[in-house]
Chains A and B, each alone.
Chain A
Amino acid sequence: MNARIFLTQLLGALGLIVILGFNVIIMDWWERKLVGHIHRRPGPMHTGWHGILQPFADMLKMLSKEDIVPDRADRLFFWLGPAVAVVPAFMALAVLPLAPGFALADIGNGLFFVFAMQTIMPFGYTLIGWSGHNKWSLVGALRSAAQLISYEIPMLIVALGILLAAGSARLTDIVNAQSTVWYAVKQPIGLLIFFITAVAEMNRSPFDMPEAESELVAGIHTEYAGMKFGLVMMAEYTAMLVGSWMIVLLFLGGWHLWPLPPSPVWLVLKLYLVQSGIIWLRGTYLRLRVDTMMEMSWKYLIPASLANLMLVGVLATTFKGF
């Protein structure tokens, strides 16, 4: 490998880590603020300007907590679990473009690469839940696996619709196909299904089955203390970032905001708007029951996504340039 390419790749990877940490810090604070305002209370106020340093206080505390590994836990997987959950999300970030062609690796099969990485995430969650030797976390892990697998199917079928319309699996091409009209306008059903399944994939409320605090003590991370819990939180926020980035790229036109000139600013703006929307959902809806949730995926979302795919196919063959 050429040394210059290697260096740029290395710098890019470091940059991604910085983005990741920055995003976790911002989202932790923003989520607490936003949920607070939904409850008509101000949220964190005493750490810096409007509590902006709150995530740092939490981080310092977590770092200095005693690190408990339960006696009967599987030590190796107890350590590995959070890493297996974070790394795929991080790898998915590597192919997500910020501007035309500006990604760590703008590969031709970007769409499938992201989904492949997302498929590894339930494995990480299952490890997290199983290794703690705790019945609640085990139930949470199994629920998480069932949920992620069953919501992946409609998500992929909807993504096939995008593939059909754009004619390419390269994420840059998909975004450039939406330079004037977004796929959100052309495929509104697709957007709805994709949004629901993406929220479910992130394990966010109202689909936070793995961490159902009213039923399973703290879900998959019942046994996680200190910074390892922080790592699990980081995995969840990163999954949220990847999911909303995919929504923005596939449906909301990425860096395009017609008629304004394309710019990465729009992408970042949309990204945080989508994430705020997801937090808004969390502040509004109650958690679904586990059986209703599975029912929703298998009985309604999969047929609807198939119908959406058929509709898109018909339209794409009838009208040129759909």
Chain B
Amino acid sequence: MFGQGLLKGLSVTGRRMLGKTECDMYPYRKRVLPPKSRIFLSMRATPDGKALCNACLTCQQGCPDNVIRIEQDPEDRKRAVSFRVNSGRCTFCGICEENCPRHALTFTQDFERATFDKGTLTYALIADGTATGACVIVERTEPEHPASAEGGEDVG
């Protein structure tokens, strides 16, 4: 019949109009993000401020956008003096995390990084040889890939 579709459309929107709203109410309620969301790079570090990174520069060389800047300790090449991330350039591709042989890099789920000042988007994970507050503290010194902890295959 002519006009059936029009009436059906009205009935659909009418039911929606009277039904419950399904809004996330963002600032008050936050959704649990999917486990593999890649938001903002972080580093695993032990409680005494020792980062797991051994300054192999794999992540710096593999990064397509020159996000990571590592400064090696000239005496001990296996120790990073500073590790800076310019997240204003990062495309969150995850190459650095996958390639890291020590599984030192990890992604946090903290997305609230909007800022008035572009400079604050560059943050240090290691400064003066010690891990900064931006790091994720883990208990063990020897890292373990999250996948292997769950019995999966260790791709590292």
Contacts and interface: CB of A to CB of B under 8 A. Distances in A.
Judged by CB atoms under 8 Å, the answer to whether A and B touch is yes
B13 A40 contact: no
Contacts of A37: 16-18, 21
Most A CB contacts (10 A, CB to CB) among B12, B16, B18 go to B16
B17 A41 contact: no
Interface in B15-69: 16-23
Which 9 A-B residue pairings sit nearest by Cβ, starting from the closest?
A284-B13, A41-B23, A38-B17, A37-B17, A40-B22, A42-B21, A38-B13, A284-B9, A40-B21
A62 to B, nearest CB: 26
B23 A280 contact: no
A34 B18 CA distance: 10
A39 interface: yes
B74 interface: no
B26 to A, nearest CB: 12
B22 A285 contact: no
**Chain A binding surface, main DSSP class:** helix
B10 interface: yes
A38 to B, nearest CB: 5
B21 A38 contact: no
Interface string A15-48: 0000000000000000000101111111000000
Q: How large is the interface on A (under 10, 10 to 19, 20 to 34, 35 or more residues)?
A: 10 to 19
A38 B16 contact: yes
B29 to A, nearest CB: 13
**Chain B binding surface, main DSSP class:** helix
Interface of A: 34, 36-42, 280-281, 283-285
Contacts of B23: 40-42
Interface of B: 6, 9-10, 12-14, 16-23
Given A40-B22, A42-B23, A280 B10 contact: yes
A37 B22 CA distance: 9
A40 B19 contact: yes
A280 B21 contact: no
Contacts of B17: 34, 37-38, 280, 283
Contacts of B6: 285
B23 to A, nearest CB: 5
Contacts of A280: 10, 13-14, 17
A34 B13 CA distance: 11
Given A40-B16, A41-B22, 9 more contacts: A36-B21, A37-B17, A37-B18, A38-B13, A39-B16, A280-B14, A283-B17, A284-B9, A284-B13
B4 to A, nearest CB: 14
Contacts of A42: 21, 23
A284 B21 contact: no
Nearest to B23: A41
B19 to A, nearest CB: 7
Most A CB contacts (10 A, CB to CB) among B12, B18, B20, B23 go to B23
B111 to A, nearest CB: 21
Contacts of B12: 284
